[in-house]
Amino acid sequence: MIFCMKNVQITVDDELLALVDRTAKPLRMKRSQVVRQALREWLQRQSIRSFEREWVSALKQKPDDAGDADAWLPAQEWSRK
């Protein structure tokens, strides 16, 4: 599999860059690897937050009926056996 990567320029303060370098060096990671990993993790967190907002919004529009949970009790009991 061939990946095409783009170069991007970012600005970080000296303290942050030094911390990245000190942390990445023993892990044998390059700065670009650290930034890619951080971006992937940030995007994952944003996706989760977006899902949670949509879920809460949907629940506010149509709240769950607590009585519906009773229908699942037999299944729950069965799974404990």
pLDDT of 47 reads 96
Domain boundaries in the chain?
Answer: 10-60
CA distances from 49 to 43, 46, 69 (A): 10, 5, 25
* pTM for this entry: 0.69
The predicted model gives 64-72 an average pLDDT of 77
Cα(41)–Cα(1) distance, integer angstroms: 22
17-60 pLDDT tens trace: 999 999 999 999 999 999 999 999 999 999 999 999 999 999 89
Alpha-helix residue ranges (DSSP H) falling in the chain = 14-24, 31-61, 73-80
62 pLDDT band, cuts 50/70/90, is confident
Is 35:10 a contact under the CB 8 Å cutoff?
A: yes
